[in-house]
Amino acid sequence: MPVADSLSDLGVRITSRGGELRVWSANATTVDLCLFDDNDATWLVKSIPMVHDTNGVWLARSRLLRAGTRYGVRVTGTTAPTNAFDPALTLIDPYARGLARTASGEWRSYVQETDSFDWADSQKPAIALDHTVIYEAHVKGLSKLNPHLPDELRGTYAGLAHESTIAYLKELGVTAIQLLPVHQFVSEQRLIKQGLTNYWGYNTLNFFTPHAAYASKSAQFGGTGAVLREFKGMVKLLHEAGLEVILDVVYNHTAEEGIGGPTTSLRGIDNASYYRQTPDGTYIDATGCGNTVNFSLPAAQRLVLDSLRYWANEVQVDGFRFDLATALGRDENAQFETGHPLLEAIISDQQLAGVKMIAEPWDVGMGGWQVGNFPDGWSEWNDGYRDRMRDFWLSDIGAARANGNAPNGIGSLARRLAGSAHVFSQERGPLASVNFITAHDGFTMADLTAYNEKHNLGNGENNRDGTDNNHSFNYGAEGPTDTPVILEARAKAIRNLLGTLLLSAGIPMLTAGDEFGRTQRGNNNAYCHDSELTWLQWEGRPLWQNELLVVSEQLLRLRRENPALRPSRYGIFGETTPSATQMDWYNKEGVVMSLTDWDSPEERTLQYLAASTPEFEAFNRILLIVHGLEDDVTVILPSHDGVAGYSLLWDSSLDELIDPIVDYLPGSPLTVAGASMQLFRAH
């Protein structure tokens, strides 16, 4: 463990002697517990001096500290460049399980009710990583336009758990819904001045409370515990449907922003300890958000561990995706450390056993890009996968049209298709890679095929925000068009991107709406838009989008049915490794790939024959053909020991399902449409 037992039981505990509050501050000189009126949270009822021990833990007890009580702390300390004490401010308890806002806009902690939620027979689905398919979604955006919901449930936790929303997710075939931040958050001061809002939620106010605005109105005004009960009810219903819940958590920075930003909690309690600073008090900002939490100290490490334990055990969530996770692994010198005590503790803590841990393995500080360098037990977002797949199907095609040659061969795609063994260690295996083509941040999948440039003027920053490195291709027109040949090429490109994502080794993450071609009209940084631009469309979709949804469902079914597509381990040459995949690679002539075939931009065709090495499922072998040039090509299907034929399961050049299945013999020729892929079952 990276922290001592002296940091146990921080926050409020109800005891036989009344309520007890424990707060950590190494640099405070006095701390007062402030209790407020039940009906007027601005009215101070009682102030109780807290006493501290030698470990920096301050304690106070009161029988007035009971379920529903509004409270806060006021902290004083010495004047120093790295301190920011202000005894006039009432601060949020970092461990508060509930938050309420006063009429004047201040925040008050409140004591959460004793947990009486009835989980009944609900259990975590405990879906194996090799069967996991992640669906990244926004609580509000997912169901805000769902016509099957009553108005009061649209865009809420209850709306997400509604039978119609769950039925959609189940029919699609995903196994886990990964929610953009649901810890209580606020909009940045800059956005408020612009009249905009932080829609995504990456600006956390407190690590233990669900964002109240995502609850139904009846829960928001339902008294102490109602919002939390609705959240737990959502988790329970999703679990009963066999769906896991993963939370996108933002521990790397807080909503207190840079110096001069709002002081609501950690800054006022112990700025010198909780935030990375130089000796003159300048913040070391490795997050781009104004501050970076200092995880070289045990108290900050313990804050994260206790938050994770709370959500994983008391709220029963199944996993976490850590925003800018490199910041969590920086040592006292702000250098990333693979064996950082917090990173190790997160995956070794017995209270977190079986919980999925996913890193966004970068931040914006020096040495911030750490893909492949997290400890065993972590999975990581694989941005190399994202960029190479976009290049192969989009920007390379655009370059070939412009210059006559694609700039890259097929080798880079193949390495990632097979599980990115060049990125992740043998011990970690392909399930260390979370594969994605898109995420909340960036173009949607449809927009990747429709825009060469970002269109972010609506964000209020003169189109300066958002990346310019999109790896996209608009196929000849920027934005919407009625030209049939362009529309057909775009639709096929989306099918290629979806097929690559869902047929690759690793854990696929699908961004909500990509399954039917959602657009954000070229905005690749829509964090400040809480509108139909970012909400999912449920009705009125054109035919091509509904056809694409059927393709997405088919691809997810094929992934489930073919274990050769989802190995758990890397194979070792000359050995039989259980739950790995035996891979054989052939060129378009059906001959084993040569170095020229791998690297040549003129030879962007491969045949990938993958056979499972059974451990828990029956033997399975597939053949995947990938062709990355726009001219049709004839391939000779490979001959291989034990293969008598190939049954075509899916063809990305077609916008409809294949029925009936067509069989082909090894050694027979097959015409493959330009820029397409085909999946066969080998038998």
Least confident of 113-127, 296-310, 537-551: 113-127
Same domain (yes/no): 403, 370: no
Does residue 340 lie within any of the structural domains? yes
The pLDDT, as a whole number, for residue 16 is 83
Q: Are residues 671 and 604 in the same domain?
A: yes
Question: Between helices 298-309 and 341-348, what is the axis angle to 10°?
Answer: 20
Instruction: Please check the confidence at residue 585 and state whether its pLDDT lies above 60.
Output: yes
| Burial call 398-408: b when 16+ CB within 10 Å, e when fewer | bbbeeeeebeb
CA 342, 346, 347, 349 dihedral sign is: positive
pLDDT band at 2 (very low <50, low <70, confident <90, very high): very low
Query: What distance, in Å, lies between the first and last C-alpha atoms of the chain?
Result: 51
Q: How many residues does this entry show for the chain?
A: 683
Handedness of CA 392, 393, 399, 401 (dihedral sign): positive
**Range 617-631 average pLDDT:** 97
Average pLDDT score over residue span 518-527 = 98
Is residue 396 located within the same domain as residue 367?
A: no
Out of 111-115, 211-215, 302-306, 484-488, pick the least confident: 111-115
Number of domains in the chain: 4
pLDDT digits (tens, 9 = 90+) for 523-562: 999 999 999 999 999 999 999 999 999 999 999 999 999 9
What is the rounded distance in angstroms from the CA atom of residue 23 to the CA atom of residue 52? 9
The domain of 53 spans 5-110
pLDDT at position 572 is: 87
Domain limit, last residue, from 374, 397, 429: 374
Confidence check: pLDDT of 1 > 50: no
Q: Is residue 282 assigned to a domain? A: no
pLDDT at 553: 98
Last-in-domain residue among 356, 374, 392: 374
DSSP 8-state secondary structure symbol assigned to residue 360: -
Per-residue pLDDT tens for 145-169? 999 999 999 999 999 999 999 999 9
Which DSSP state fits 622?
E
Q: Model confidence over 217-258: pLDDT tens digits? A: 999 999 889 999 999 999 999 999 999 999 999 999 999 999
With respect to residue 510, please indicate whether it lies within any of the assigned structural domains: yes
Please tell me which residue in 323, 344, 515, 597 is annotated as part of the active site: 323
423 and 496 inside one domain = yes
Catalytic residue among 248, 360, 597, 651: 360
Is 323 considered catalytic here? yes
**Is residue 202's pLDDT more than 60?**
yes
Q: What is the mean pLDDT of residues 475-484?
A: 98
pTM: 0.97
Residues 437, 469, single domain; the answer is yes
pLDDT category at 15 given cuts 50, 70, 90 is confident
State the Cα–Cα distance between residues 432 and 416, nearest whole angstrom: 12
272 within a domain of the structure (yes/no):
no
Do 188 and 327 share a structural domain? yes
Residue 659 pLDDT exceeds 80 = no
Does pLDDT of 39 surpass 70? yes
Per-residue pLDDT at 4? 53
Q: Are residues 336 and 199 in the same domain?
A: yes
Percentage of residues in the chain having pLDDT higher than 70:
99
User: For 543-575, b where at least 16 C-beta lie within 10 A, e where not — what string?
Assistant: ebbebbbebbebbbebbeebbbbbbbbbbeeee
Which pLDDT band holds residue 522 (cuts at 50, 70, 90)? very high
DSSP-based three-state secondary structure for 34: strand
Residue 280: inside a domain, yes or no?
no
Look at 426-435, 610-619, 660-669 and tell me which has the smallest mean pLDDT: 660-669
pLDDT for position 116: 82
The CATH number of the domain holding residue 470 is 3.20.20.80
- One domain for residues 456 and 516: yes
- Segment (H or E) for 491: helix 484-503
- State the CATH number of the domain containing residue 79: 2.60.40.10
599 and 465 share a domain? no
Average pLDDT over residues 575-582: 92
Task: Let me know whether 406 and 555 are in one domain.
Answer: yes
Q: Please indicate, yes or no, if residue 283 is contained in any of the structural domains.
A: no
Residue 3 has pLDDT above 70, yes or no: no
Is residue 133 scored above 50 in pLDDT?
Answer: yes
Q: Which residues of 589-613 are buried (b: 16+ CB within 10 A; e: fewer)?
A: ebeebeeebbebbebbbbbbbbbbb
pLDDT bucket at 312, cuts 50 / 70 / 90: very high
Q: Confirm whether 674 is domain-assigned.
A: yes
Going by pLDDT thresholds of 50, 70 and 90, the confidence category of residue 40 is: very high
- What is the per-residue pLDDT across 411-426, written as a single tens digit (0 to 9) for each? 999 999 999 999 999 9
- CATH at residue 642: 2.60.40.1180
- 614 pLDDT more than 50: yes
Task: Say whether both 338 and 396 belong to one domain.
Answer: no
Same domain, 197 and 312: yes
